[in-house]
Structure 1
Amino acid sequence: MEGPLAGVRIIDLTTVIAGPYATQILGDMGADVLKVEPAGGDIMRAPGPSRSPEMGAAFLNCNRNKDSLRLDLRQQADRDRLTELVASADVFVHNMRMNAARRAGLDAQTLLERNPKLIYCAIVGFGQDGPYRDRPAYDDVIQAASGWAELTARTGGEPRYAPTIVADKTTGLFAVSAINAALFSRSQTGRGQAIEIPMFETMASFLMVEHLSGLTFVPPDGGSGYSRILSRHRRPFKTADSYIGVMPYTAAHWNAVFSAAGRADWAKEAATISNRERAERIETLYERLATCLLEKTSAEWLAALEELQVPSAPVNALDDLLEDPHLQAVGLFEKVTHPTEGEIINVRSPIRFSGTPTTTRKFAPK
């Protein structure tokens, strides 16, 4: 059986993470993806670790299920070749600056005139209707501009970036959603269209779902920021021997934990029982929880919390994930043999379709 996007032809002119991550997901879903790289290759080929030049781990993990072709778009012949490829494609994705795309004849108007059924997707740093449209953007810049870095300062300390490429990958996920929606629209109308996926606006909208908070109302009913999420006590909790993640959310959860810890008095308080008072006194509740969890080991608490049906988990290290019994059972990490890089670990698509499965048909191209 083939994936749900089998037969969809995608020309992928993206580099680094956001675009390649998006097109890899589309490739996992069965799309035929041709990665068009500059003469020197995608810049993400270089960062290690690697076994051979231009085949770094991050590149391997963002470019499976693709074929590759290198073109020098400074040369007219190569620009013409790319234009020919796009003329028969279903989707064209790029993350060039828009001025550069226009100079190369790769703007939406030009390509849609040639191929009216094309889904044209431009992943940009900033929306092209705004004053920042020509600014360069990378993940760190967008984390700073969108408010992500400042959220860390609100919980105590200095502004910091998330230790993952969160803006790139989130933008890539939005691109997947938008491209699939446009493909569905085309199936109904027969017409293609242009899509703009701006990193800045994507991350601002992503964060403000909960953090717009009191600024949702006019006039404001309080400030920005969801208080529970920004609590300085919201973190993995220390136990007698290590740390665990635990999330009592409902009144029943809090009652169960406090009762198990021998604090029936806390379990009966309004701060535990009332939804409104829990929200207002979340700092106190987290402080109390921290005190309770110190009395037993992580294994003891995890066993008790599972029995009580209170959401909890060990604090895994990244290395632990490879040995996690659940992830092993579902086969998330596959040991495979790459044609040039030898035996590697492949992280399969986490998505399951019952009738059109996602599969790893090709490994990242040399």
Structure 2
Amino acid sequence: MNGPLEGLRILDLTSNFMGPYASLLLADMGADVCKIEPPEGDTTRNVGPCRHKGMGAVFLHLNRNKRSIVLDLKHPDGLAALRRMLPRADVLLFSLRPQAMARLGLSYEAVREINPRIVYCGAFGFGQNGPYADRPAYDNLIQAAVGLPMTQARKTGGPPTYVGTAIVDRMVGMATSNAILAALHCRSQTGYGQAVEVPMFETFAHFAMGDHLYGHTFVPPIGDWGYERMTAPERQPYRTADGYVSVEVYTDRHWQRLFAAVGRADMAADPRYADVHARARHMGELYDFLHRTFATRPSAEWVALLTEADIPAIAMNTPETLLDDAHMRAVGFFGEQEHPSEGLLRTIGIPQQWSESPATLRHPAPRLGEHTQELLGEYGFGQDEIGTLLWSHGARAAAPAETAA
């Protein structure tokens, strides 16, 4: 097998980050993802360093294990081809706004008429029952709307800032893949598909507010918003003699072992630091102590000492040094793969493992339209029909691959 979802067919009408991350997770688990692209291609094809136009670094990581077909949905023949593919699909995943899908004649009602078993999943900005329903949305907008930059500002004491990764797109993409799997399970019980909506705003609010609703959990509020420990300015890696370490001194036993490990067993007996409530009143002093202490030795020495004392600690990596991390090397998380057109690439591993249906890296990220003819054939088109569709420009196929320099 090529993963636990082998045999599942997904028509993927998404682009950018969020939708492709959702379909990546499903593709890595073995689903057959048919990536339907417009003639100009996915918007991420030119994001990041590249050897050839349209094959940028971000696209390569978001779109492995998928095959690309170009259908021009603004062309009647391209739209007709997609509609003809629907009966053989298990899932139609899209990130267009529902109004755009309806204008294409691809509303849930229309698609259900063609295939009542299909899971019709839309991942877009806002729930359709509210005043923001028609608005476009991007990662930064949703971070701001949910208040994440303000929690960052409370922590840093500076202006509001966005988190330095596409956290909304990635997290909502993960929620989308979960929602699709839940709908497929329901179909296995009932025999019917359904429409599933995964709005970014509400989904990310669900993610963030479990921490930061805090005092406003109660009516009326019995405290401020924001999980205090998460937003404390002192919550940061500790500088060492040659870098930084992350250390989680959390329980009473952690503190007692730490005091002993650094030669300050006397502090364990100090009533100011005896339990969590006492420490909370003196955390400023403890943070000062930790910062001074960790600055005295190299990171590797601290990690060894703290690990021996069973205190959670790890050296801080950069994205570059993570590639050489001892654990990542041992589990083979980062590998290398020869791409047919892009040459030797570094791959990001599949983190989960299955005892009976292991997932594999089956396809490198595709060139635009690389599999158009192959996929049309698998979805029931004859060779003459494929030729006619290409001639009309309702579909397009990739030019012959260039070899990487």
**Which TM class, normalised by the smaller chain length?**
over 0.9
1:299 maps to amino acid: A
Q: CA deviation at 1:277?
A: 3.9
What is the aligned partner in structure 2 of residue 24 from structure 1? Answer: 24
The answer for unaligned runs of 5 or more in structure 2 is 368-405
What is the aligned partner in structure 2 of residue 286 from structure 1? Answer: 287
Hey, what's the Cα distance between the residues in 1 that align with 2:211 and 2:341? Answer: 46
Hey, what's the Cα distance between the residues in 1 that align with 2:186 and 2:107? Answer: 21
What is the aligned partner in structure 2 of residue 191 from structure 1? Answer: 192
What is the aligned partner in structure 2 of residue 226 from structure 1? Answer: 227
Q: CA deviation at 1:273?
A: 3.4
**3-state DSSP class of the match of 1:354?**
coil
1:128 maps to amino acid: Q
Hey, what's the Cα distance between the residues in 1 that align with 2:27 and 2:149? Answer: 32
What is the aligned partner in structure 2 of residue 176 from structure 1? Answer: 177
What is the aligned partner in structure 2 of residue 352 from structure 1? Answer: 353
What is the aligned partner in structure 1 of residue 138 from structure 2? Answer: 138
Hey, what's the Cα distance between the residues in 2 that align with 1:30 and 1:271? Answer: 55
Which structure has the bigger radius of gyration? Answer: 2
Q: CA deviation at 1:280?
A: 5.3
Hey, what's the Cα distance between the residues in 2 that align with 1:282 and 1:121? Answer: 47
1:192-222 deviation line (CA, Å, top 9, x unaligned) = 1111111111111111111111111222221
Q: CA deviation at 1:284?
A: 4.0
Q: CA deviation at 1:114?
A: 1.9
1:108-140 deviation line (CA, Å, top 9, x unaligned) = 221122211111110011111111111111111
What is the aligned partner in structure 2 of residue 256 from structure 1? Answer: 257
Q: CA deviation at 1:269?
A: 3.8
Instruction: After TM superposition, list the pairs within 5 Å mapping 1:65-84 onto structure 2.
Output: 65-84=65-84
1:340 maps to amino acid: S
2:128 maps to amino acid: Q
1:106 maps to amino acid: L
The answer to whether the 8 Å contact 1:126/1:201 transfers is: yes
Q: CA deviation at 1:28?
A: 0.9
What is the aligned partner in structure 1 of residue 322 from structure 2? Answer: 321
1:273-304 deviation line (CA, Å, top 9, x unaligned) = 32344455544433332222223232221111
Q: 1:76 to 1:309 in 2, by over 3 A?
A: same
What is the aligned partner in structure 2 of residue 121 from structure 1? Answer: 121
Hey, what's the Cα distance between the residues in 2 that align with 1:72 and 1:283? Answer: 61
Hey, what's the Cα distance between the residues in 1 that align with 2:308 and 2:291? Answer: 20
Identity, % of aligned pairs? 46
Hey, what's the Cα distance between the residues in 2 that align with 1:310 and 1:345? Answer: 33
Hey, what's the Cα distance between the residues in 2 that align with 1:269 and 1:181? Answer: 52
**3-state DSSP class of the match of 2:304?**
helix
The structure, 1 or 2, with the larger RCO (C-alpha pairs under 8 Å, 6+ apart) is 2
TM-score normalised by the chain length of structure 1: 0.96
Q: Alpha carbon RMSD of aligned pairs, Å? A: 1.5
1:52 maps to amino acid: H
What is the aligned partner in structure 2 of residue 57 from structure 1? Answer: 57
What is the aligned partner in structure 2 of residue 46 from structure 1? Answer: 46
1:41-66 deviation line (CA, Å, top 9, x unaligned) = 10110123000010001000000111
What is the aligned partner in structure 1 of residue 364 from structure 2? Answer: 363
The answer for unaligned runs of 5 or more in structure 1 is none
Aligned residues: 366
1:166 maps to amino acid: I
**3-state DSSP class of the match of 1:26?**
helix
Q: 1:61 to 1:271 in 2, by over 3 A?
A: farther
1:307 maps to amino acid: E
Q: CA deviation at 1:268?
A: 2.7
What is the aligned partner in structure 2 of residue 236 from structure 1? Answer: 237
Q: CA deviation at 1:266?
A: 3.0
**3-state DSSP class of the match of 2:79?**
helix
Q: CA deviation at 1:270?
A: 4.5
Hey, what's the Cα distance between the residues in 1 that align with 2:199 and 2:272? Answer: 42
After superposing the two structures, state which structure 1 stretch, 76-85 or 117-126, moved more. Answer: 76-85
What is the aligned partner in structure 1 of residue 15 from structure 2? Answer: 15
Hey, what's the Cα distance between the residues in 1 that align with 2:301 and 2:7? Answer: 52
1:119-176 deviation line (CA, Å, top 9, x unaligned) = 1110011111111111111111111111111111001111111111111000110011
